[in-house]
Structure formats: C-alpha cells, structure tokens
Amino acid sequence: MTTLNQLTELGQAVWLDYIRRSFTRAGDLQALINQGVRGVTSNPAIFEQAIAGSDDYDEDIQRLAGENGSVNDIYEALAIEDIRQAADLLRPLYDRTDGRDGYVSLEVSPALAHDTAGTVADAKRLFVATDRANLMIKIPATPEGIPAIESVIAAGINVNVTLIFSLAQYEAAAWAYINGLEKLQKTGRSLGQTASVASFFISRVDTAVDAALEKIGRSDLQGTTAIDNARLAYTRFREIFAGDRWDRLADAGARVQRPLWASTGTKNPAYADTLYVDSLIGLDTVNTLPPATLKAFIDHGRVSLTIEKDVAGARSRIATLADIGISLETITRQLLDAGVAAFAVPFDNLMKSLEEKRDRLSGSGNA
C-alpha cells in the first residue's frame, strides 16, 4: 500500500496542485492516480507556467488564432481542454467514491475577486462550458466572494473556496456552503451531487508570522502558527458540521465541506519538506500538494492522525501572538490581499504572453 493510500485509509485525500497538457497526455497524471492521488487543483500561476512556459499549446494557439478568438477566448479554450482531460482521467474515481473525490478545480477570473455578481456569472458559465460533473469552480473567500459562493452552491455547482487564511474567513466559507445547500434543497434538487472544499492556506502564514517573530526575537514560536491556525480551523469544522441544522442537510444527502490544506510546499529550508503534510492529517480533509512536495511525501512522509494533536497548545500559542503585539488578523488580511494580487499578476502575464504567441504563430506580428 502506498503512503497516499495509507492517507486515504485515515480519511485524507491527496490532490495534485499542478496541471500541464504534456503531463496529462504522457500518462504522468494517470500514474499518480494509480498511486493514490485523488484530485487536481489549478490556478492562474500554474496555467501561466504551463502555457507561457512551454510549447505544448502552440499548435492549438495557432488554430484558435485562425478562428479569430480573443486572447481570453484562447486561454479559456486551452484551460478548459486541460481541465476536461484531467477530469476524464479522474472520472472513474469520482464514480467509485460517489462524488467524494475525483475533482479538478478551475478558477474564476482573478479580475472578479471583488465582484459578487460577476463571480456568480463566471462560475456558472465555466461550469457549463467545461461540461464535467467532477469540476469544482474556485472562488476566493473575499468579502465579495462569500455571497457568490452561497449563490453558486445554491445553483448546484461544486465550489473550491480558495485563499482562506483566517478562522473568520473559514467560518464564513463554511456557512456560505450550508446556506447554499439549504437554498438548493428548497428547489427540490438532490444535495448529494454538490460538493465543496474550503482551501485553507498554510505555509504563507508561517512566512509572514515568522518574519514578525524574527523582529522581536521570539524564535521559539517560529514555524508553529500555520499549523496551529489550521488545527483551530479543523476544530471549527467539526463544530459547524454537527448539530440539528447540519443533520437535516446530511439526512437529505449533503456531504461535509472538507477543509483542504493549500500552499503546503515548505518555503523555509530549515523546516522539513513534508512538515505541512505530516502535521495536518485527519478525517474528512484534503491536502493539495505541488509536485515536489508530493514526491517528497511519497518517499518519506509520515502517516498518522495528527490534525487534532495539541489543540490546547495551538490556542495558547495563537493567543500569545496577540500578547506580544503580533496581530494574526492583520497578517491574514494582508495575505488575502496579496493572494488576490498573486493570482491576478500571473493571469495578466499569461494574457500578454498568449497575445505574443498568437501574433507570432499566426504571422500577424510580422504584418
């Protein structure tokens, strides 16, 4: 049994945070699925690296340019084709698990992060255009994104809530899911075919908090905040998805919105390369790993239930941050703003790169 299958036995699914056409077509994704990978996530930065950083897509770019599509039309055609191919490889798993796993995530336009109506419209359009039941639409947990999540869930569309850094964001995302399911239930549609994950970002929290701790000489707390923050979120997950209100939805076929640990590649070389995997293993969770972290975990990851360890210590250490003048609320708010920008910039760069490729491959750049 592989380490990934051992995680599955403990109730955690590993998804791959990577997509690229040659990777999928060459059989590499299928090989990882065979080893126990149970889903795929993507984002604008991943698509920029794949499309702008390779010639995998040049033939299709040239063809699409001849159809007089806009740069955005070309991007969406390329991205949707990649998502469909990955979704088709994962469809047997989706069917076998009755929709628990086997998902591929595609993000709404980063330009819509603060546009509720635009996000809802884009999510619905992308879900229809992709035409795969095992697609999840990624929507950021911005103040404007939260009501959009509720509306999209109410429409019966799977949602990956992304860019969650704080407990307040997590709770808002969880309640948006529950509110959306209750609205969906009133339409008479089945609840069992609509799924969601709440992507809680990990390593970026440590990077920011560690820098603040370094300035005041509190190295004893470095490397603890991200894991503590996630463990407290998991505790809230257990509290929210319990009780009469949730039980009524569960009895109607609803499944919990699993916490998904994102940004789990270790950025500090002083920390173990599987720190944010080994420390966050628990029932009803997902961890999406970049290729290097996935490879490391398959090689030497440690498999045991860890997510509920030392929750009291986590509360104490988080409280200590406030006592020593470090506002986790301020830091996580800044991380959300930076996260939105971090997806917008590569998306803009990708549009520029696609425009250059389109013109070069179609010959219009020489006109």
| pLDDT single digits (tens) 343-364 | 899 999 999 999 999 988 877 6
Using left for φ > 0, alpha for ψ between -120 and 50, and beta otherwise, residue 166 falls in beta
CB 50 within 8 A of CB 113: no
pLDDT tens digits for 130-169? 999 999 999 999 999 999 999 999 999 999 999 999 999 9
Q: How far apart (Å, rounded) are the C-alpha atoms in residues 350 and 72?
A: 10
Q: Pick the closest to residue 17 from 52, 56, 51, 43 (CA basis).
A: 43
Residue 307 lies in a domain: yes
What are 275's two structure tokens?
A: 């720190």
Predicted local confidence at residue 207, as pLDDT: 97
Per-residue pLDDT averaged across 178-203, rounded? Answer: 97
Q: How far apart (Å, rounded) are the C-alpha atoms in residues 7 and 296?
A: 15
Residue 303 DSSP one-character state: -
- Residue 322's pLDDT band (cuts 50, 70, 90): very high
The count of domains in the chain is 1
Which of 138, 215, 267, 352 is flagged as catalytic?
138
What are 40's two structure tokens?
A: 């795929």
Residue 183 has pLDDT above 80, yes or no: yes
CB 300 within 8 A of CB 323: no
Where do we find the tokens 């030497």?
Answer: 300
Predicted local confidence at residue 367, as pLDDT: 38
pLDDT tens digits for 300-316? 999 999 999 999 999 99
Predicted local confidence at residue 365, as pLDDT: 52
Residue 19 DSSP one-character state: -
Residue 173: CB partners within 8 Å, gap ≥ 6? 141, 146, 149, 161, 164, 198, 257
Predicted local confidence at residue 366, as pLDDT: 44
b/e 110-136 (16+ beta carbons within 10 angstroms → b): bebbebbebbbbbbbebbeebebebbb
Q: How far apart (Å, rounded) are the C-alpha atoms in residues 352 and 355?
A: 5
Residue 145 lies in a domain: yes
CB 221 within 8 A of CB 284: no
CA distances from 127 to 20, 198, 296, 336 (A): 20, 18, 33, 25
pLDDT tens digits for 25-54? 999 999 999 999 999 999 989 999 999 888
CB neighbours (10 Å) of residue 252? 14
CATH number at residue 328: 3.20.20.70
Q: Name residue 71's amino acid.
A: V
Per-residue pLDDT averaged across 200-212, rounded? Answer: 98
Per-residue pLDDT averaged across 336-341, rounded? Answer: 95
Task: Name which of 89-98, 106-115, 123-132, 351-360 the model is least confident about.
Answer: 351-360
Q: Pick the closest to residue 133 from 109, 102, 174, 97 (CA basis).
A: 102
CB 8 within 8 A of CB 38: yes
Residue 279 lies in a domain: yes
List strand residue ranges (DSSP E) for the chain, in order: 12-17, 39-41, 103-107, 135-140, 159-164, 196-201, 258-262, 285-289
Mean pLDDT score of the chain: 96
Residue 67 has pLDDT above 90, yes or no: no
Predicted local confidence at residue 364, as pLDDT: 63
267 counts as catalytic = no
pLDDT tens digits for 5-24? 999 999 999 999 999 999 99
Residue 367 lies in a domain: no
Q: Pick the closest to residue 201 from 96, 304, 332, 318 (CA basis).
A: 332
Residue 216 lies in a domain: yes
Predicted local confidence at residue 69, as pLDDT: 78
CB 275 within 8 A of CB 210: no
Task: Look at strands 103-107 and 135-140 and give their pairing.
Answer: parallel
> What is the torsional sign of CA 309, 339, 143, 184?
negative
Residue 195 has pLDDT above 50, yes or no: yes
In terms of residue numbers, what domain contains 72?
3-362
What are 348's two structure tokens?
A: 């803009």
Q: How far apart (Å, rounded) are the C-alpha atoms in residues 48 and 127?
A: 21
Residue 299 has pLDDT above 70, yes or no: yes
Residue 38 lies in a domain: yes
Q: How far apart (Å, rounded) are the C-alpha atoms in residues 360 and 356?
A: 6
